[in-house]
Amino acid sequence: MRSFRSYFFEKAIKLSVSRAARKGVRSKEMDEQRELLDAAAKKIVKLPNNCLLIPSEIGGIYVEWLVPKRSMEDKVILYLHGGGYALCSANTHRPLAARIGDAAGVKVLFPEYRLAPEHPFPAAIEDAVQVYRWLLSKGYDSSNIVLAGDSAGGGLCLAVTLVLRDENEPLPAGIVCLSPWVDLTSSGESYRKNNELDPYLNRKLVRDAARMYAGKEALDHPLISPVYADLFGLPPLFIQVGNHEVLQSDAELLAVKARIAGVETSIKVWEGMWHVWQISGDFLPEARQATREIGQFIRKTLKK
The residues annotated with a catalytic role in the active site are 151, 245, 275
CA gap 221, 214 in Å, rounded? 9
Q: Which residues pair with 52 in a beta bridge?
A: 67
What Cα–Cα distance (Å) separates residue 103 from each residue in 154, 261, 302? 19, 30, 13
**Whether the Cβ atoms of residue 248 and residue 238 lie closer than 8 Å to each other:** no
CA gap 57, 299 in Å, rounded? 27
How many residues does the structure list for the chain?
304
Q: What stretch of H or E contains 63? A: strand 61-68
For residue 87, the 8-state DSSP code is S
Torsion angle (degrees, nearest 10) of CA 126, 29, 273, 301 = 20
CA gap 172, 144 in Å, rounded? 7
